[in-house]
Structure 1
Amino acid sequence: MRSAFYAFLALLPLPVFSAAVWVGDFTSPDGTIPPPWRIERPNPEVPPTNYRTRLWEGVHAVEAHAVRSMALLARPVTIDLARTPILCWRWRIDAPLQSADMTQKSGDDYAARVYLSFAVTPERLGLGTRMGLALARSIHGDQVPDAALNYIWDNRHAVGTWQPNAYTERARMLVLRSGSASAGRWVAERRDVSADFQAAFGHAPLTLTGVAIATDTDNTGEEARAGFADFRFVASADDCAPV
């Protein structure tokens, strides 16, 4: 009788346990930004982008509104990229910027971007890079990472374009959306962070240290509005399941 019972159990489907690690669930009811998310201003002399939570067409999201402004909305993370290397999220823009150009410092603005910061082993950096990072941190503080990936919603470059940031080779930009074809609605993204870092820097990342979102228009002087929602890391075999 017992063997028949165990044989029956073997026929039952195994339960599926989600490996998702949530880092951005913006369900705050009063518009405030939930910790550990916080505003970071690389240049205190520039007015900050305004961030607030809201229910936006049924999606609990952060709304970013920039008017000649710049600030990151950032948080530290501890993610095992060997286990959950895939970043999933949703975002939207009202419209792309008109005069932005990521190849120029004067055009280094984005209707929406997702910024990932990393720690890298010292031997991967080289003496010149380490000295440059030390100088940057003496000016801007410890928020300057060893390396960074930026997933951007661009206005002119083709989807799939890689470009070093106009200010530093230690930040690499990847165009995920471009132009206005998907503006005005939520779109979902799925990126293999480890693979993207390898493509950008030629080696695997050591540690992912932070996630940030931004809408910035301080260089172009334009106005932009974007939304960000549902940030989570999942295993390679998992889908970015509906939330």
Structure 2
Amino acid sequence: MSATIAALAGAVVLSATWDATEGWQELRLGSGLRPNRFEVNAETAVLSISSQSSMSLWARPIEVDLAARPVLCWRWRISGPLKSADMRKKTGDDYAARLYVAFRLPPESLDWSTRAQLAIARRLHGNAVPDAALNYVWDNRYPAGHHAPNAYTSQTRMVVQRTGASMAGQWVQERRNLADDVKTWLPTGAKPVLLAVAADTDNTGESVVTEFSALKLVGIQESCQ
């Protein structure tokens, strides 16, 4: 899968078109999951995700220098938080919105047990299962800043970026120092290889409409605007 990364005033723009010219495509994790519905507004460069008891990703490969552009920026809007989700449980592992960054890890950082778990996961869900991932989520229960391993795999870290209903229905600008998060939670040498966005409702059976726009990577001193 090839992709272009556009540069604009020092920023690496990741979602100018949301289409195949940038490498975006739907990624389904397992044949048994009902997929989300994705729609792109070409005029506003907004991706809309309708999720109803469903889960799939809108994903693209990335190859970036986090030393030069360590800050991940995006805007998102949700129709409302999920009611019964709870990231501590597999049955509650759903989110109104999630931004997912997958990483390739140095082979020497993976012990035998982790390699075996990844092999099993890839047999079940395909080769899209990464070595590790960071997920920034709009949660319903835990405060912003809360983080925990994913209920299904310790190789994925769930980070609550925003929570609750107070900003539902409004566009919210987010800014995250991805390079710092990599240093905090991943081994030295971790490289981002995939970026994805999603709404996730397959476990709780709930519904949500989520929108994303303006994904970019910028320098530490640069604005997200």
Q: TM-score, normalised by structure 1?
A: 0.85
Instruction: Please tell me whether the aligned partners of residues 26 and 230 of structure 1 are also in contact (alpha carbons under 8 angstroms).
Output: no
Listed as ranges, the matches of 1:79-158 within 5 Å are 79-158=64-143
Quote the offset at 1:59 in angstroms: 4.2
Equivalent in the alignment of 2:214: 230
Instruction: Please tell me whether the aligned partners of residues 15 and 45 of structure 2 are also in contact (alpha carbons under 8 angstroms).
Output: no
> Aligned partners of 1:149, 1:61: CA distance in 2, in Å?
23
Report runs of 4+ in structure 1 exceeding 3 Å deviation: none
Alignment partner for residue 217 of structure 1, among 198, 201, 207?
201
Equivalent in the alignment of 1:169: 154
Instruction: Please tell me whether the aligned partners of residues 58 and 198 of structure 2 are also in contact (alpha carbons under 8 angstroms).
Output: yes
For residues 4-35 of structure 1, what are the alpha-carbon distances to aligned partners after superposition, in whole Å with 9 as ceiling and x for unaligned? xxxxxxxxxxxxx82211111237xxxxx444
Listed as ranges, the matches of 1:184-199 within 5 Å are 184-199=169-184
Q: Which residue identity does 1:233 align to in structure 2?
A: L
- Secondary structure of the structure 2 residue equivalent to 1:24: coil
Which structure 2 segments of 5+ residues have no match? 1-7
Quote the offset at 1:236 in angstroms: 1.3
> Aligned partners of 1:205, 1:20: CA distance in 2, in Å?
23
> Aligned partners of 1:42, 1:143: CA distance in 2, in Å?
8
1:159 aligns with 2:150: no
Equivalent in the alignment of 1:62: 47
> Aligned partners of 2:196, 2:141: CA distance in 1, in Å?
23
- Secondary structure of the structure 2 residue equivalent to 1:195: helix
Quote the offset at 1:182 in angstroms: 0.8
Quote the offset at 1:206 in angstroms: 2.3
Equivalent in the alignment of 1:51: 38
Larger mean CA deviation between 228-237 and 170-179 belongs to 228-237
Alignment partner for residue 190 of structure 2, among 199, 203, 206?
206
Q: Report the CA distance shift for 1:116/1:90 in structure 2 as closer, same or farther (over 3 A).
A: same
Quote the offset at 1:194 in angstroms: 1.4
For residues 206-228 of structure 1, what are the alpha-carbon distances to aligned partners after superposition, in whole Å with 9 as ceiling and x for unaligned? 21101000101110000111000
Alignment partner for residue 42 of structure 1, among 15, 24, 29?
29
Q: Report the CA distance shift for 1:185/1:39 in structure 2 as closer, same or farther (over 3 A).
A: same
The count of aligned residue pairs is: 217
> Aligned partners of 1:227, 1:88: CA distance in 2, in Å?
14
1:22 aligns with 2:23: no
Instruction: Please tell me whether the aligned partners of residues 24 and 230 of structure 1 are also in contact (alpha carbons under 8 angstroms).
Output: yes
> Aligned partners of 1:218, 1:129: CA distance in 2, in Å?
26
What RMSD, in angstroms, separates the aligned Cα atoms of the two structures?
1.6
Quote the offset at 1:124 in angstroms: 1.4
Quote the offset at 1:205 in angstroms: 4.5
